[in-house]
Homo-oligomer: A and B are copies of this chain.
């Protein structure tokens, strides 16, 4: 229970930093060696410095829109006392200057969080873009 609220608070903070395009702040919620794996495009970024550099390159993509991530269906598995495997899905909106809302594809995310000195950090993030199931 306590862990559930701790995890929700972590994402509330991390998503605000991400959506504010606060690249350094967002990177600071990862461990120093934190990994982001965009599984759907075979792109893997290792460490805070690379995360910051990559995010800065991507910033122009977000010019002209306020981005928001809307997460749901968190499942939390306590791997050990200070390691959590967390999965959830994410809907991403872009709101332009006129207030028009458009959508990125939806995603499923698998994170590993670690607790260091009482605070959670993302050690790895694997992002899967939602794709239609193959016809059964």
A63 to B1, Cβ gap below 8 A? no
CA distance A59 to B97 in the complex (A): 25
Asked if residues A12 and B74 are in contact (CB atoms below 8 Å), the reply is: yes
CB distance from A43 to the nearest CB of B (A): 16
By size class, the interface of chain A is: 35 or more
CB atoms of A106 and B132 under 8 A apart: no
Of the candidate stretches A26-34, A45-53, A65-73, A114-122, the one touching chain B is: A65-73
State the CA gap A43–B2 with chains docked (Å): 39
Q: With A68-B91, A104-B99, A136-B21 as given contacts, are A75 and B1 in contact (CB-CB < 8 Å)?
A: no
Distance in angstroms from A110 CB to nearest chain B CB is 12
The 20 sampled A-B contact pairs (Cβ below 8 Å) are A8-B74, A11-B73, A12-B74, A64-B132, A66-B106, A66-B130, A66-B131, A66-B132, A66-B133, A68-B89, A68-B91, A68-B106, A70-B72, A71-B73, A72-B72, A95-B131, A97-B131, A99-B104, A100-B103, A101-B105
